[in-house]
Structure 1
Amino acid sequence: MALLQRSKQRLDIDLLVLPDTNLILIASVIEPLRGANRIAGSELYRWRLLTPDGAPVPTTSNIAVPAQGSFRASTEDAPLFVLASYDWRRSATPALKMQLSRAARYRTVIAGVESGTWLLAEASLLDGLSATVHWEDYEDFALAYPEVRAVKDRFVIDGKRLTTSGSLPTVDLMLEVIRQRQGYSLALEVSRLFRYEQPSFHIDEPLSAASAGLRLHDPRVTQAVHLMEEHIEQPLVLARLARRVGVSARHLQDLFQQSIGAPPHVHYLALRLNTARRKVIETTASFADIAAATGFNSASAFARSYRASFSESPSETRRRLRRRITPSQASL
């Protein structure tokens, strides 16, 4: 599935937006992709908004969303996201269901976003598959479509079908797409743009910038992440990190997997590489100094990890993204 495979190629996505969709639902698909483009400094994703008739579609916020075209069944193979919120039944015309069925022959992926799941089920595109819907609709959906395995989850990926249960779960899905295509480091940076943990009211417990996009339900994971952030230059080995938290190394690995879906060493490396990338872009420090400041034994080891994570060398990033200070700017 191209949507969930490591790739350097730009991914084009079509969004079929139905009347009375929430603005936040549209943003939940687009904004993580926009954030990935901005942070990466290149167009990793491009999207196109379609409506059933090509006309601007009204939203529940009384703001019409302009369309870039009308949705028609064709041989297009770009992933298709079907977005719907309220009154989805008004859009479930025989013509639209037929168009969705025809589109499924060519589209690499079709996703049902919130009530878009109902549209996919109506078009028999979820038969024999697992799918999720908004929690308020779960019982009704399960009764209406016994051929679909309804599950209570934030999002579900089952073959070529993706479904989400709401706006924030859709953000989670898009972060998973970014993680699969560009890696954990970029997904972690993008997540910081959209979510944060409610900071403590105690002065000595500030909100952590690096962990701002994570829902750290276990205090031991929170403590471990903070320790990682405090020891970027001289990383702690897993055994010592676990001792500081008060658990075994194996238990800490399990807690990380349950809490953020990644083992400690993957999260730790992402923190260090994201710190390094900011230094590459925002400073003139040598790569050897950046390597030392982010816990790498050598500039070559840093370069290998950097390229593996960001698909380019530090020097390529700096050449591509750094703002060049012109003589006239420097004199200001």
Structure 2
Amino acid sequence: MEVTLLQRSTERLDIDLLVLPDTNLILIASVIEPLRGANRIAGSELYRWRLLTPDGAPVPTTSHIAIPAHGAFRTTTEDVPLFVLASYSWRQSATPAIKMQLSQAARHRSIVAGIESGTWLLAEASLLDGLSATVHWEDYEDFALAYPEVRAVKDRFVVDGKRLTTSGSLPTVDLMLEVIRQRQGYSLALEVSRLFRYEQPSFHADETLSAASAGLPAHDPRVTQAVHLMEEHIEQPLILARLARRVGVSARHLQDLFQQSIGAPPHVHYLALRLNTARRKVIETTASFADIAAATGFNSASAFARSYRASFSESPSETRRRLRRRIMPLPAPP
């Protein structure tokens, strides 16, 4: 995919958020909090964001809490992704000036995203012509009639070329977790979702949310049961055939269930759970890497180090050194 937002990278990603008046607080948090969580878990600034408003003044939200801005939205040649956030009062913001600014900004921005009603603003600026896009389910019919040149779909979020659109707050969390997964890998995205005890549903609107026991993106109770078994057997991992038997299905069927429910095969999810457990031990304890490897089901410290580096783009010793440098006290003045 050509979209750099959704490509593997160790570089910091900067994002501009254009927050329009009367946007929901939860919509703003749906963009920012997964990124903040990724930074916290990784122990480094993987993501940085800047909040912009039409005039640079704090923007009122539907909760009557004003959000301060880093500055005013202006047309520049910056190429960082631009996320346009809007909720109920988007029409008041769809001024000729804003539409012209969006159109001009799209010439330079690597990505322009319509978050919830931000999709309407992009359509008004003719930035979605000939592309697929999604909106909040309550607005779907009206949107499809208003913009026949846009292929309206009912997915939770849509990526079409350099345009992203989401259909609400929780689907926006879906999108941000997908960004993290694509850029930093499945393990970090899983740990961020568990940080919020968040259940990531399927990306299609005709499937409903269900209760999460541990932030698991699972709908099928057999998948949930299998994940619980994985969590209980971190030190001595169960082979797939045994795991499937415990759940009451064949190994092949369990693989299909995982793919349908969470979009990843069982071994990928299991490895992510073990590596995330290992990473917490690397950061929070002084245990040797050999002991951590044994405690998380790896045959040797070298096998653990290879998997760790493949997932987190650094070795366990590099993680420990980097994070401990950050918390070392400053030397006392002479």
The separation in 1 between residues aligned to 2:208 and 2:332, in whole angstroms, is 36
SS in 2 for 1:192: helix
Give the distance between the partners of 1:186 and 1:323, measured in 2 at CA.
22
User: Per-residue deviation at 1:323?
Assistant: 8.1
Task: Report how far residue 209 of structure 1 moved.
Answer: 14
TM-superposed CA distance for 1:321, in Å, is 1.8
Deviation per CA, 1:288-311: give whole Å up to 9, x if none.
Answer: 111111111110010000001011
Give the deviation of 1:262 after TM superposition: 1.0
Asked if 2 retains the 8 angstrom alpha-carbon contact of 1:228 and 1:235, the reply is yes
Please give the alpha-carbon distance, in whole angstroms, between the structure 1 residues aligned to 2:197 and 2:218.
12
Match of 2:124 in 1: 122
Does the 8 Å contact 2:156/2:203 carry over to 1? no
Q: CA deviation at 1:194?
A: 2.0
Q: Give 1:245 deviation, angstroms.
A: 1.2
Stretches of structure 2 that go unaligned for 5 or more consecutive residues are: none
**Judging changes above 3 Å, is the alpha-carbon distance between structure 1 residues 329 and 14 closer, same or farther for their aligned structure 2 residues?**
closer
**8 A Cα contact 1:16 1:49, kept in partner:** yes
> Quick one: structure 1 residues 206 and 6, their matched pair in 2 at CA, closer, same or farther if it must change by over 3 Å?
closer
Note if contact 2:197-2:213 (Cα within 8 Å) is conserved in structure 1. Answer: no
Number of residues paired by the alignment? 332
Percent sequence identity over matched residues? Answer: 91
Q: Structure 2 residue aligned with 1:196, among 195, 198, 202? A: 198
Correspondence for 1:67: 69
Q: Is the 8 A contact 1:11 1:44 kept in 2?
A: yes
Please tell me whether the aligned partners of residues 198 and 212 of structure 2 are also in contact (alpha carbons under 8 angstroms). no
**Structure 1 position 252, deviation (Å):** 1.0
Q: Please, what TM-score do these two structures have when normalized by structure 2? A: 0.92
> What CA distance in whole angstroms lies between the structure 2 residues aligned with 1:7 and 1:73?
27
The change in CA–CA distance for 1:90 and 1:203 in structure 2 (over 3 A counts) is closer
Find the residue that maps to 2:126 and give its secondary structure.
coil
Report the CA distance shift for 1:207/1:41 in structure 2 as closer, same or farther (over 3 A): farther
Provide the C-alpha distance between the structure 2 equivalents of 1:199 and 1:19, rounded to a whole number of angstroms. 29
Cα displacement string for residues 42-80 of structure 1 (whole angstroms, at most 9, x for unaligned residues): 000000000111111111111111111111111110000
Q: Distance in 2 between matches of 1:114 and 1:203?
A: 14
Instruction: Please state how far the C-alpha of 1:322 moved relative to its aligned partner.
Output: 3.7
- 1:73-125 deviation line (CA, Å, top 9, x unaligned): 11110000000001101111111111111111110001000000000011111
In 2, distance between residues paired with 1:319 and 1:19? 44
Quick one: distance in 2 between partners of 1:202 and 1:139? 17
Q: Deviations over 1:245-304 (max 9, x none)?
A: 111222111111111111111100000000000111111111011111111111001000
Q: Mean alpha-carbon deviation: is it higher for 190-199 or for 295-304?
A: 190-199
Determine the structure 2 residue equivalent to 1:99. Answer: 101
Cα deviation, residue 193, structure 1:
2.2
SS at match of 1:46: strand
Q: 1:219 to 1:67 in 2, by over 3 A?
A: same
After TM superposition, what 4+ stretches of structure 1 lie above 4 angstroms from structure 2?
196-211, 323-332
Q: 1:198: how far off?
A: 14
Partner of 2:299: 297
Q: Distance in 2 between matches of 1:191 and 1:171?
A: 9
Does the alignment pair 1:147 with 2:158? no
Tell me which residue corresponds to 2:233.
Answer: 231
SS in 1 for 2:120: helix
1:330 alignment partner, SS class: coil
Alignment RMSD (CA, Å): 5.2
Q: Match of 2:92?
A: 90
Q: State the SS of the aligned residue for 2:48.
A: strand
Change (3 A) 1:11 1:204: closer
1:201 offset after TM fit, Å? 29
CA contact (8 A) 2:201 2:219 kept: no
Contact kept in structure 1, 2:193 and 2:199, CA below 8 Å: no
The answer to whether the Cα contact below 8 Å between 1:210 and 1:271 also exists between their aligned partners in 2 is: no
SS in 2 for 1:323: helix
- Partner of 1:195, secondary structure, is coil
The TM-score with structure 1 as length reference comes to: 0.92
Q: Which moved more, 1:9-18 or 1:276-285?
A: 276-285
Over 3 Å counting, the alpha-carbon distance change for 1:204 and 1:228 in structure 2 is: farther
Classify 1:211/1:316 alpha carbon distance in 2 versus 1 (closer, same or farther; 3 Å): farther
Give 1:210 deviation, angstroms.
Answer: 11
Does the 8 Å contact 1:50/1:69 carry over to 2? yes
> How far did 1:200 drift?
22
Against the structure 1 CA distance between its residues 269 and 211, is the aligned structure 2 distance closer, same or farther, given a 3 Å change threshold? Answer: farther
Distance 1:149 1:167 in 2: 21
1: distance between equivalents of 2:158 and 2:73?
Answer: 24
Cα displacement (A) at 1:215: 3.6
The answer to whether the 8 Å contact 2:34/2:177 transfers is yes
Deviation at 1:161, TM superposition (A): 0.7
